[in-house]
Structure 1
């Protein structure tokens, strides 16, 4: 499915360093959850093929994106692979932002200071990833809203089930969750039941609405 900013998931699950088999397992778990957005990072071995496969197999139920996109060349590769959205730990150039807009791909570059955030948004970013969010803490998002108003920001880095609600309460509309979502051992063992339990615990923590027909 081609995702727009209007229906972009409030929670993005970040998959970094998983094998193709592990990635399939996680996507199977997430497709029946309230978490509708999944990012496969470019510093994962075989990332482009995983993105293509994920789009083909799960694209009707999940929004599949690419993370750790650092260059124009990488951006072109992930868009060609079918990514709905792209994230980065750094700011995008104007050329990269224009490329995303022209191809209707959601651009989520990173920024840290108010000036960087403002520059990325006025340059064409759809959402700005504040990374690492745990360094500035949840109150940073409320403080930014004072002079700048409500902004489409995503907290990434150190966000987990214990602190996710605090980011939301402080006005952060999007969260990116990496290692805070699953225990690596559960993924390695292919324990789908434990993974589902972790997803449901996270949904409860951030008060996502229940998924119809699950369970």
Structure 2
């Protein structure tokens, strides 16, 4: 189950724009900071090669996959490269079915309860609330009242260490992290610092929730 990969640290690193020659170094930095799920968006340079390299280097310890997957025929190519996860910005039922046929985890993007339940019924392993900038914690709390309790809900879009706690309090189970964590040209030390800041913010948010339970 995808939950097992998110148990330790439920943060998904989104490496949009990464190049194959830097993928493994960045992946190792993220692993050292506690990340266990890494996504290479398909609109990055040579994304399948980056996925192949990451899967070869870290595939035993991390769930490696593809993001911004828009075409069903890509599911087989991602699986062949060693990817085990497909993430999308939308709730395309055909894409979810293609991912499941390829024996991949699938996390579609949703922005309404209708999209969320459509994705769940199609076989989604978790849902990505996207873009989180337009789905406030109060909305997440309302959704949580009707969504299946066991379903993982991951806000994505504009998330920073400072914005995580209200979402956690509202019922978010983790986050997808983009440019606030990685962007092309950022050096490894900066990526490491940002990764540790996110990991610390998650643990602090959980600790705060526990103290108010």
Where 2:154 maps in the other structure, the secondary structure is strand
Query: Normalising to structure 1: TM-score of the pair?
Result: 0.86
| Residue 196 of structure 2, aligned match among 194, 200, 203 | 200
CA RMSD of aligned residues (A): 1.9
Residue deviations 1:118-161 (CA, integer Å, cap 9, x gap) = 11101111111111012121221111122335332211111111
Alignment-derived partner of residue 181 in structure 1 = 181
Alignment-derived partner of residue 209 in structure 2 = none
Partner Cα distance (1:99, 1:129) in 2: 18
Q: Does 1:121 align with 2:120?
A: yes
Alignment-derived partner of residue 43 in structure 2 = 43
Deviation, 1:20, is 2.1
Partner Cα distance (1:173, 1:105) in 2: 20
Please say which of residues 112-121 and 147-156 is displaced more in the overlay. Answer: 147-156
Q: Does 1:154 align with 2:154?
A: yes
Q: Does the C-alpha gap of structure 1 residues 189 and 195 become closer, same or farther in structure 2, counting only changes over 3 Å?
A: closer
What count of residue pairs does the alignment treat as equivalent?
A: 201
Q: Any stretches of 5+ residues in structure 1 without a counterpart? A: 210-215
Query: Normalising to structure 2: TM-score of the pair?
Result: 0.86
Alignment-derived partner of residue 212 in structure 1 = none
Alignment-derived partner of residue 74 in structure 1 = 74
